[in-house]
Amino acid sequence: MTDVVIAGIGQTEAGEHWDFSLRELAQQAIRTAIQDGGGMKPQALYVGNMLSLNLSNQAHLGALLAEYGQLTGIEAITVEAAGASGAAALRQGYLAISSGMVDTAIIVGVEKFTDRVGPNVEAAIATSTDSDYEAMQGLTTTAQAALLMRRYIHDNNVPANGFAGFALTAHTNGAGNPYAMFRKAIKVEAYARAEMVSEPVNMFDAAPNADGAAAVLLTRADLLPPGYRHPHVRIAGSGNSSDTLALHDRHDMFAFQAAHIATSQALKKAGITIDQVNFFEYHDAFSIYAAMALEAAGFAERGQGWKLAADGSISRTGKIPCATMGGLKARGFTGGASGVYQAVEATQQLRGSAGHNQISGAKYGLLQALGGPASTAVSHILERIG
């Protein structure tokens, strides 16, 4: 089997980048990842993006970013899968190298929310839902998450502030991440008095939209340059699955079946069980998604995912550390770039370069990115070698 390793990583700060264009953000991340990987020139570029056509009036990002990154001539395509776009692009790079068709690939996830303001942004995000039966009826992604969360609370007797642990953990970890949008821990009192966005989703239950770009350079282990200075981190497993686009079309809307299938595929490919995973980078666009991601992955029984946040199990010193660099909630929801940010952050953990947020002795990290409410799910297992 071909060992696909992450040779280099790069990222920009997540936040409101009014003075930088989409191409400039992507170029910063690409350049940093190539330098970090020893200067290897990629043969292919896979771009993960969700909203550039809607918000930046720009399609054809593969060619644009290859040109701007001085990589003209290589294979360059864009992958779109809503919030899972970056993770799907990472999977395409992994498959390309695993197949032997490509030796070295650069994967970049990039999003630029601030090219538009106000209702235009919410309308763009809503394109990830079923246009005819959800968005056209006025349903936003936040309102959809609120409906799901309300029913989950009712069915599972979740107490007041039962979801607070997700936000508290994310912001505690975000405080130690210099690339995070929010770098300040919060207390449960702040969560309890936070304004409602769409009841019961409050301000701390929803990840903020953020501009940003993240990149990883992939290659085969035997092609790493002489004197390569980082511990080896490989993609040990990868999985991808889909579910109905409209939430109401599902037999069981609380199963997040695509996330379960994608994670099971990745674990099987890596040859490990869920008990061997040392940390979990979930897609906490909303607190309810984090709870259901824990259940779908197999860390908690149905309806019990919230308890892992309530009892501290997802903290850095807990049973299964989650959102170790702040997750989407504190780092920021960078749209289609989110899955690549996860890969960069997990690589930092496995290299031992996560600073104050370091998980001691981490060998396996599970990454899970979602498009919408797990209409698309992409999971990866990263492993430290040696």
pLDDT digits (tens, 9 = 90+) for 171-191: 999 999 999 999 999 999 999
Q: Which whole number is the average pLDDT over 206-212?
A: 98
Distance CA 79, CA 76 (A): 10
Q: Which of the four pLDDT bands, split at 50, 70 and 90, describes residue 386?
A: confident
234: three-class secondary structure by DSSP: strand
Q: What is the mean pLDDT of residues 95-123?
A: 96
For residue 323, what pLDDT is reported? 98
Does the structure show a pLDDT above 90 at 146? yes
**CA–CA separation, 330 vs 280, rounded Å?**
15
C-alpha dihedral sign at 166, 172, 174, 177: negative
In this model, does residue 1 exceed pLDDT 70? no
Which two three-digit tokens encode residue 255?
């199963």
- Provide the greatest CA pair distance for the chain: 58
pLDDT of 83 higher than 90: yes
Return the pLDDT at 2.
Answer: 81
**Using CA atoms, how far apart are residues 237 and 264, in angstroms rounded to an integer?**
10
CA–CA separation, 233 and 8 (whole Å)? 10
The mean pLDDT value for 154-167 works out to 97
Q: Check whether 292 has a pLDDT greater than 80.
A: yes
Left, alpha or beta for 352 (phi > 0: left; psi -120 to 50: alpha)?
Answer: left
Q: What is the model's pLDDT at position 34?
A: 98
Averaged pLDDT of the chain:
97
Question: What is the arithmetic mean of pLDDT over 220-247?
Answer: 96
Domain 4-118+209-232, CATH: 3.40.47.10
Q: How far is CA 93 from CA 127, 230, 364, in A?
A: 26, 20, 20
- The average pLDDT across 113-124 equals 94
CATH number of the domain located at residue range(s) 128-205+241-385 in this protein: 3.40.47.10
Q: How far apart are CA 76 and CA 234, in angstroms?
A: 23
Average pLDDT, stretch 101-117?
A: 97
DSSP 129: S
pLDDT at 126: 95
Name residue 234's beta-bridge partners: 5, 383
Burial 167-196 (b: 16+ CB within 10 A, else e): bbbbbbbbbbbebbbbbebbeeebbeebee
Q: State what percent of residues in the chain have pLDDT above 70.
A: 100
DSSP 270: H
Where, residue-wise, is CATH 3.40.47.10 in the chain? Answer: 4-118+209-232, 128-205+241-385
